[in-house]
Each structure stands twice: as structure tokens, then as C-alpha cells.
Amino acid sequence: MQELVPNETVEMIRADRITLTFVQSPFCGTCHLAKKMLSTLEALYEKDIFQEMNASLHSSLMEHFKIKSVPCLLVTREGKVIEKIYAFHSVPFMRDKISNYVE
């Protein structure tokens, strides 16, 4: 999972391809569990799928995309929100959610 730094984040989210950004806080226990699920999915697909964004460092993007809470999986294309996933029920649930976005 690639961690985004503030000056790269806007460029990555505005990419012309679908981008899956895991929005988290390092102080959030639920975020740590969600990250493990996403890491399991990356191992399953055998490639990096997700970007990681620390919500504390990107308050303007949190506001811009109207992200209500963390963890959140923000799915974007060309800077437009396709979907926001807040409930990370299980690895199979998340696999089904992202299967439309991962090649």
C-alpha cells in the first residue's frame, strides 16, 4: 500500500484511472483492522491496489470529498467520487466491493 504525501495526493486522486484511496488515522483502531483487510486483498491480487492517506494530514481533501469518518475507502476517477465505502465488514465483502475497480 503506497502512502500518499501531501504534495502527491491531489495528483494521484485526479488520475484518469480509477484510484482506490484508503483514508485512515493512525490513532484509529478500526482503521488498523481495515488496513489488514486491504493488505490481505493486495496479497490475494499480488499487486499494490490501494493508496493510503492520513486524514490528519489532508484536512482540505477530507472536506472537499465530504469524508464523514475513517476508515473510508475513497474510489475516484479524474478527481470525481465514484464511491465511498465506510463499512469494512470482512475480506470477502471488500473483495466483492472492489472487484469492479481492480483489473
Measured between alpha carbons, how far is 87 from 9 in angstroms, rounded to an integer? 23
Question: Would you call 102 exposed, middle or buried from its count of C-beta atoms within 10 A (0-12, 13-18, 19+)?
Answer: middle
Question: Which pLDDT belongs to residue 41?
Answer: 97
Q: Which of 49, 50, 48, 60 is nearest to 6 (CA)?
A: 60
Return the ∠ at Cα 34 (arms to 13 and 102), rounded to 5°: 50
Residues 53 and 9: beta-carbon distance below 8 Å: yes
Q: What is residue 7's DSSP assignment?
A: H
10-residue averages of pLDDT along the chain (103 residues): 74 79 95 97 95 91 93 92 96 96 87
The pLDDT assigned to 37 comes to 97
pLDDT value at residue 36: 97
pTM to 2 decimals?
0.90
